[in-house]
Structure 1
Amino acid sequence: MGFSKETDDGAVCEGNKRDFKFLQHYVNALPDEDHRAESTAETAALTRWECLLRRIDICIMLTLLSGLEELQREFIGTGASRGSRSDGRNCFELLGFDLMLTEDLEPVLMEVNHSPSLFCDSSFDFETKRRVVMDVFRLLEPHVPSIEVCDDASYAAHQATPHAGTSDASVGFRQISPQRTFAATAGGAGGPWCEEELRMFEEMLQHARMS
């Protein structure tokens, strides 16, 4: 059971529930000798916090890609079992990632939760989870057709149009992480994925499809 205490500016400063603002200040206040030694060409201009966010993003991306085929099968099965579309595009799932940070600020995946709890027992919980839900629907919005094309016949015609969307084969993992695609204008930490990261994601995706 956790508790938290908010400061006048809304930051959580006590207890075992902390917000990202607190964690950002804490991480950036750590001695930076090790950070400079670990910097690469892609991360040299980043703060320690931005490097941590990028590592967390990579950890989540690799986890998603490792189970992408299974997630797609679940979505297809869910749609088909309800007599709805069987392409899996009428389903989505909110996943909760439990991460632990090592002394070197390397994220270690502990577990992934299907449908994590959105129950709120404090104003801090409410504000945090409200933003999570808002982000979920921001991600969904570009891929949800208007209500006029949601019946079977209309949707089939909609899918046949050039603007209906791009296939998984041509988009692949890039569609999973739009914050990196548009990081230059959206303030994402570190900008788009570098070529080494893209190759790593492609290899994980290929490995998952062969397993």
Structure 2
Amino acid sequence: MPPIANPELERYAHDHTEPPAALLDELREYTRAHDSRAGMQVGRIEGTLLGVLVALMQARRVLEIGTFTGYSALSMAQALPPDGELLTCDRDPEVARVARSFFDRSEHGKKIRIAVGDALDTIRALPASPPFDLVFIDADKVRYSTYYEEALPRLRRGGLIVADNTLWSGEVLAPETEDGRALADFNDLVVRDRRVEKVMLTVRDGVTLARKL
């Protein structure tokens, strides 16, 4: 998805954000060269934001719903302590293979476990304890609300849910597609939810933060 911001402002923000590790740049270029869906990959700014959030929260356990080729997972794993763990879910074994190949080249890759299969099945099979500190949702849009409801009970009090693409290139203002309607419904669900404190950011294609009360 293209950024919502003016391209010149997006470039300015890009140039004034902490640059990623060289391996992340390589992963981004590999994805662009080998996968026609490269636009699904989180941007450099958002990847850095995710790492900063993990560090600020001193998170030890992270759940990611939607691995793709692994840019966001590796961005977050870098900010975890040496004994931290990140469980990332994707149904596509080929992108999981690409992600694993890059994780294996990073000193932080040992913190990451990939669950290949339906993310809802994976989440529902998780034990109630220990809870997660942060959950990142960036998978099929029609199930965002379901992912949210399944993840929230598995999140610690004060923990954070981060949801990507919540502006959907502005379509949420007047949804016309199934994905657009699903994201608009998800946004309405979160804003009404008294269980969380929430803020929607206009980073890239929209990023919503929801802190469990």
Q: TM-score, normalised by structure 2?
A: 0.23
Greater Rg over alpha carbons, structure? 1
TM-score by length of 1: 0.23
